Chain A
Amino acid sequence: GDSVTQMEGPVTLSEEAFLTINCTYTATGYPSLFWYVQYPGEGLQLLLKATKADDKGSNKGFEATYRKETTSFHLEKGSVQVSDSAVYFCALSDSSYKLIFGSGTRLLVRP
């Protein structure tokens, strides 16, 4: 079945460092891909999405490019802030209503 694999955390960075969180997927069709963010004690918020190969999703300085050839959707940000500390989830959707989530990657940004 379809699945999503994320790098294990926590990822600990200093403020203004460059961030990459790796995400790869397995899917039989042509899924849409998402990054969600979860702040402590809260629900998930959509960060960005891409619906077809080579699409780049971006929001709040975060970017991810849908790479069909490598089945990847890595999340990047050029300069992280303390307020970016959260758990980040990569997810895919197939032709059904369901989202399939990765296990999440916790990001800790130190001042």
Chain B
Amino acid sequence: DGGITQSPKYLFRKEGQNVTLSCEQNLNHDAMYWYRQDPGQGLRLIYYSQIVNDFQKGDIAEGYSVSREKKESFPLTVTSAQKNPTAFYLCASSRSPAGGAGEQFFGPGTRLTVL
């Protein structure tokens, strides 16, 4: 079955540590996205990538980094510079620009907790 996988489902990190969240898709989608969701709030865009080896900052990119070396993979690193990293992180992908009625498909999410 085609879809998006995120791992791990739960992740615990000590303060001062970097941590990388995995996102893989087998939908052959060009575009991939990372969102952050805080309790009772909507989704905020961290980074997005329209094509391999290219990515752009979203609305809250500070303290995060990404890479897009393969079409299928878009890992997110939460660095120690992110002051409040505890949140639910969602990865998504889309076949075409969202403005062309292209919906985004979401993974199951990773819940990151900083201890």
Contact = CB atoms under 8 A, between A and B. Distances in A.
B99 A32 contact: yes
A41 B103 CA distance: 21
A19 B43 CA distance: 23
B101 A49 contact: yes
Interface size class of B (residues with CB under 8 A): 20 to 34
Interface string B85-102: 000001010100111111
Contacts of B21: none
Interface stretch (B11-19, B61-69, B73-81, B106-114): B106-114
Contacts of A93: 97-99, 101-102
Nearest to A104: B42
Contact of B108 (A43, A96, A103): A43
Interface of A: 31-32, 34, 36, 41-46, 49, 51, 89, 93-99, 101-104
A23 to B, nearest CB: 12
A16 B48 CA distance: 40
12 contacts: A31-B99, A32-B98, A32-B100, A36-B106, A42-B108, A43-B4, A44-B43, A93-B99, A98-B58, A99-B33, A102-B42, A103-B41
